[in-house]
Amino acid sequence: MSGHALRPADTARYARQIRLNGFGPQSQAALLRSHVLVIGAGGLGSPVLTYLAAAGVGRISILDPDTVELSNLHRQFIHSEASVGARKVDSAKDSITELNSSLDIVTYPMLLTPDNALELVGTADVVIDGSDNFATRYLANDACEILDKPLVWGTILGFDGQVAVFDTTRGATLRDLYPVVPAPGSVPDCATAGVLGALCGSIGSAMAMETIKVLTGIGTPLYNAVAIHSSLETSWETIPVGRIPDREPVTDLEPAMEPEGRLGDDASARPGADGGDPAPTLTWTDLAPGTHLIDIRETDEVSAGMVSGAEHVPMDELIADPGRIDGHGAVALYCRSGARSARACAQLRALGRQVSSVSGGYLAYLSLPR
């Protein structure tokens, strides 16, 4: 962080927080000279980005390959109807620039990958994980552990949410809270399980507050603990989290996607409740010419775009009528991030169909060089 003296305009804009007992001009200066990397400009990223921009974090990098869909707007309030179809990073930048034009906003319309994670994380003072898939969550965690960067983490499921601050220099990380990456398809995403926008606001606001605490040194951040919020019961519970004894430190990003074989949200499916054989995964560059692509996302998800030449068959319809893929030769399925397509492949292969799943799904497609 470089030095930053408060200007008269800064003192006027941030006056209400500067006058807080225990905050003062020194904390404001710390925010203005800080750089945060926010992974995800969706339900959690919307309140995080808005509050950090309003608070005066000097440089904010936004990473998200996705585009704005109409179904996002009930919770992703950083976007608007006019933004539908636009890159989320561009829409988010426009929104927070209107709120605070004095900030330096950098956009990355791409997925976090083992190839770019260390470079992106390495430039930030704090990383904020507002992603919605396990591959990205564990990759962000591991990159932060390798580089000794604090990671502000949040997640939502149903009516509940969780918030934590992971910092390997102070103790526990995500791999201590959840040592085993959930199997693909074992945890529903927002597209299949639904989500209330107000819950995103509660968890995202808490993440923004934790980030401010880490950057300024005020208060007690959620190190070595996870805060669990039940929105229906209006309750918060904080549970201690300790580093697993003798856990080997993370030194390589490649295992981030495969702690026990290839797991993670965009990894190949493994035998399980669905009874399917492991389904092969392909990257977009691996697809052979003539492969029949099937987009298994829901109808509202494809409204903002799909891969040219692909056929749209929602997952439930395809599983109910697997004969729809017969006679097409090589068939590959894709969803948003790869979780549902891996699960669908396992089920279809159990029925004797030879199909593949496209790793990373539509988000990986959007990350391809144009």
Strand partners, 358: 282
Say how many residues make up the chain.
370
Q: Which residues contact 359 (CB under 8 A, 6 or more apart)?
A: 266, 267, 281, 282, 283, 338
β-sheet with 292-295: strand ranges across = 281-282, 355-358, 331-334, 292-295, 311-312
d(CA 170, CA 183): 29
Strand partners, 156: 161
State which H helix or E strand residue 333 sits in: strand 331-334
State which H helix or E strand residue 205 sits in: helix 197-216
d(CA 165, CA 153): 6
d(CA 188, CA 315): 13
- How far from 275 is each of 272, 349, 350, CA to CA, in Å? 5, 9, 6
d(CA 28, CA 13): 11
d(CA 7, CA 28): 11
User: Which residues are catalytically annotated?
Assistant: 190, 335
d(CA 370, CA 310): 18
